[in-house]
Amino acid sequence: MKKIYVFDLDDTLVLTEARVKIYHTEDFSLVHSFTPIEFNSYEKKANHLLDFDDFDCFETLSKGKLITQNLKILRRAHELGYDIAIVTARSNKPAVVQFLLEKKIPVDSSLVYAVSDPSFNYDGSVAERKSQAFIDLYKKGYRDFVYYDDNLENLEKVKETLQKKHAKISTFQV
Ligand SMILES: [Mg+2]
């Protein structure tokens, strides 16, 4: 069975200063500024405008702190000959690819999925878009998945999606 190790990016492989900013729809005043972990438990209100611009920025990503214990797992899997994919909610694939090259993280750019990048044409929630990326990996022939993410909702949705396809999946919340 063709096996692949899949990693989320923010708070799985790197910690950055990028924040999700929430503005008021009327006067555009800043209501909240969330780390990705804080944003996981945020519920959107009708008068809230979401701004993810920090997550498009290569410089902010490049200045982030690498999470070495998870990178070690990635490098070990690569050394053992397994393919590696990145599935991130980010919307700027070129910035992610540039970051991986700069940090010498061994991931082929064809296996980098920035699921909010319009070029992918995915829709729905982050968990749903991530699941669509895994379906694309399934279509590439992978049947055995090992998946690391800090977000439980992503892990559960992807697991459910792949189990319906009778693929093998192990998930790890980091
Ligand atoms: Mg994350």
Mean pLDDT of 149-163: 97
Q: What's the CA-to-centroid distance between 165 and ligand 1, angstroms?
A: 24
Domain boundary assignment for the chain: 2-13+65-173, 15-58
Q: What's the CA-to-centroid distance between 36 and ligand 1, angstroms?
A: 7
Judging by beta carbons within 10 Å of its beta carbon (0-12, 13-18, 19+), is residue 103 exposed, middle or buried? middle
**Does the pTM exceed 0.85?**
yes
pLDDT one-digit tens code per residue, 45-98: 999 999 999 998 999 999 999 999 999 999 999 999 999 999 999 999 999 999
Q: What's the CA-to-centroid distance between 90 and ligand 1, angstroms?
A: 10
Q: What's the CA-to-centroid distance between 12 and ligand 1, angstroms?
A: 6
Q: Which helix (H) or strand (E) holds 109?
A: none
- 53 vs 5: CA distance, rounded Å: 28
pLDDT one-digit tens code per residue, 10-34: 999 999 999 999 999 999 999 999 9
Q: What's the CA-to-centroid distance between 173 and ligand 1, angstroms?
A: 10
Mean pLDDT of 143-158: 97
In the CATH hierarchy, which fold is given to the domain comprising 2-13+65-173?
Rossmann fold (3.40.50)
- Three-state DSSP at 102 gives helix
